[in-house]
Amino acid sequence: MTTLNILAAGSLRAAWPDVVAAFTSLSGIAVNTDFDPAGMLRQRIEAGEPCDFFASANRLHPEALLQQGRAIEVGLFAANSLCLTVKRDIVTQDDDWLALLCRDDLRLATSTPLSDPSGDYTWQLFDNIEQRHPGLGSMLKAKARTLVGGPDCVTVPSGKLAAQWLIEQHHADMFIGYASYAPRLRGCPQLEVLDIPAPYNMQAEYGWACCSEAARPFAAFLSSVTAQTILHQHGFQSTV
């Protein structure tokens, strides 16, 4: 039986088993998935690692593979945005998301730009803040500690959310990450999750690259009602 070798962005880790199980049930095609930050996965593919299908948290990585001739087709399959998670007992009545980011006494953690799209989107968020509040976005870039999503970052234990673990282990007081994690994070009594409003927030566009003919059925399945429903149940938004 054919087994597809898929490389998928780490933020898909919770949703992916359900997506794959539904696909295999319908098609009879087995899937093996390896997760890592999408920027690092792209580097692995460019270095020659075998891959049938690449699911990225940034559409630019699949498009780059297409331009290089390493993919035969690309598309979009989900969207995401950012949120701010903070230690609940540090939030005062007057704090909103931006006030918290500005507090000098709080340590801010993020993912790593270039290696992880979450870091790229966070830096774009800082640029959006800079446009509306000159000097503030640059300050946040200098303040942010890129603790996850890079080759030399701390290792978050399997099954733990980065925001939850970093705050619980006192590596940070707040973390900017994907809003798809918000429902699970809001279930942690010691944490508070704040939405980042649309004028500042980014839309993360999740793209795929079909790197072999064998993966075309899976690419088509990601657009199906079944796959989209599963992704929505895990906090992702539609690209339509």
Residue 240: per-residue pLDDT: 57
3-79+204-233 placed in CATH 3.40.190.10: yes
- Read off the pLDDT of residues 5-43 as tens digits, 9 standing for 90 and up: 999 999 999 999 999 999 999 999 999 999 998 999 999
pTM for this predicted structure:
0.90
Residue 1: per-residue pLDDT: 57
Tokens of 82: 């950012």
Q: Where does the chain hold its CATH 3.40.190.10 domain(s)?
A: 3-79+204-233, 82-195
Quote the CA–CA distance of 200 and 140 in Å, as a whole number: 14
User: pLDDT-derived band of residue 158, with 50, 70 and 90 as boundaries?
Assistant: confident
Q: Tell me the pLDDT of the chain averaged across its residues.
A: 94
Query: How would you class 106 by CB atoms within 10 Å of its CB: exposed for 0-12, middle for 13-18, buried for 19 or more?
Result: middle
Please state, in angstroms and as integers, the Cα–Cα distance from residue 108 to each residue in 97, 113, 129, 143, 177, following that order: 12, 15, 15, 7, 11
Percent residues over pLDDT 90 in the chain? 90
Residue 94: per-residue pLDDT: 86
- Read off the pLDDT of residues 108-151 as tens digits, 9 standing for 90 and up: 999 999 889 999 999 999 999 999 999 999 999 999 999 999 88
* The CATH fold of domain 82-195: D-Maltodextrin-Binding Protein; domain 2 (3.40.190)
Are the beta carbons of 200 and 121 closer than 8 angstroms? no
Mean pLDDT of 92-121: 94
Mean pLDDT of 189-217: 95
